[in-house]
Amino acid sequence: MRFINPNLLPVVLLLASLCCAAPVQQLRNYDRKRAVTTTVTVKTQAQPTTTTTVKAQPMASTTTASAPAKSSAAAASATPGAPAAAAPGKPAMGPPNLLSQLTAEQAGGGVPGGPPPQTTFSANAIRNFKVANFIEGIESGFFAGALQTLNKDPTFTTPSADGKSISNVTTQIAAQELVHKATLEGLLGLAMEPTVPSCTTIFPVTDSKDYLAKANVVTSAAIGVIINILQSLSGTDPNLISPLSSILSVESQQDAFFRMSGSNTPSASPFNTGLSTTFAYNIALTYVDPRSCPQLPDLAILPSLNLTSPMVGATAPATPPTSITFTASGNLPKGNLYIGWVNQANPVAYSNVTVTNGIATADIPAGMTGIAFAALTTQTVAMTVDGLTNSTLAGPAVVLMS
């Protein structure tokens, strides 16, 4: 399909659907609304009086549409909300894509059109997509909640010099998260996998500063996990790298906005920090009441590492912090304790933990910028975030360095 002039794609897809129904079927899974629109458009083009001839396609050479009755049937079968009618041996339809036109307009676009990047998925891809679906659900709920909670907060609603308020930009970002979510759900639908229902109780933000701080953290967690998922998919599902990287760079643009709105530089480091799915999941879980989540991913819920300083704010401290303090109240093992530090694309760095009267401190190794992620552990050999995750006693805690 990749050699076809995109303007002719709807016609080609209709013709393909007349012949065998498979491509349109798959397309509807990925972007049901778009598929409906294009099919209806093509139906108009394929009226008896206007026989449509499609030329200049290496693949389909010359094709003529001359079956209006059949094309009407094809259009009708694509009615929104119509149940899936899977062709024999073809994937059944996924759940309907519930993205409104308004959301797509606010976001600057909807779920990608055209054929899906692939139609069979590895178990690894499905597992990762479900985690991403869960986290995107929390992100979009968080932004929607902030829009409601802060709608009378002047810092949130007053336009800046460009005429746009934090609220205006958040409206767009919230819509983009819904599109990301719908895209992942479309791919899960293609794989005939259930989507992950969203948690319903998202903790409200207290004010605009709290919002910016938390938006930076949750977006950094999403960026971190997508970096990890991309690495994982490169081995199993390389065709998914492209759509997922497109999501990753938008998450980074969104994060630059949160950082700048908090008077930080747009990008603090040359590299963003990759996170394990478990670390990102545990950070996302701090935004919700887990009891309100109909379905939790099959990942470990780690004990929290309770920092008493520094606390993450909207604005990074003028001088980067040099140590952390946390309460050590749980059943911590005897022997040496360490904090493993995850930052940028570097191997995990370790610092010693000193505990005095239930208050623990650890130095922050030199060279940490942006957001660093800290986890309590008893070992210093794991060099990757996945290895650190496996040996984490508590964490990850988030430290805003710069």
Per CB under 6 A, residues contacting ligand NAG are: 163-165, 167-168, 303-306, 327-330, 336, 351-352, 376, 384, 386-387, 390, 394
Helices within 60-153 (DSSP H only): 68-77, 101-107, 123-149
The minimum distance between CB 19 and ligand NAG, in angstroms, equals 45
The minimum distance between CB 333 and ligand NAG, in angstroms, equals 11
The minimum distance between CB 238 and ligand NAG, in angstroms, equals 22
Degrees to nearest 5, angle at CA 388 with 323 and 127: 130
Q: Which of 281, 348, 290, 303 is nearest to 128 (CA)?
A: 281
Q: Name which of 55 and 164 has its Cβ closer to ligand NAG.
A: 164
The minimum distance between CB 305 and ligand NAG, in angstroms, equals 5
- What SS3 class is residue 326? strand
Q: Name which of 2 and 298 has its Cβ closer to ligand NAG.
A: 298
- Give the CB-nearest residue to ligand NAG: 330
The minimum distance between CB 290 and ligand NAG, in angstroms, equals 15
Q: Name which of 57 and 149 has its Cβ closer to ligand NAG.
A: 149
Q: Name which of 41 and 172 has its Cβ closer to ligand NAG.
A: 172
Q: Name which of 71 and 228 has its Cβ closer to ligand NAG.
A: 228
The minimum distance between CB 276 and ligand NAG, in angstroms, equals 9
- Is 360 in contact with 327 (CB distance < 8 Å)? yes
- Is 316 in contact with 402 (CB distance < 8 Å)? yes
| The two structure tokens encoding residue 132 | 């991403």
Q: Which amino acid is at 40?
A: V
Determine the angle formed by the axes of helices 208-236 and 123-149, rounding to 10 degrees.
170
Q: Name which of 193 and 386 has its Cβ closer to ligand NAG.
A: 386
The minimum distance between CB 91 and ligand NAG, in angstroms, equals 30
3-state helix, strand, coil in the chain (%, to 5): 45, 10, 45
Q: Name which of 123 and 318 has its Cβ closer to ligand NAG.
A: 123
CB count within 10 Å of CB 297 equals 21
- Residue 298 carries which DSSP code? S
Burial of 58: CB neighbours in 10 Å, binned 0-12, 13-18, 19+? exposed
Distances (CA, A) of 121 to 109, 188, 339: 25, 9, 37
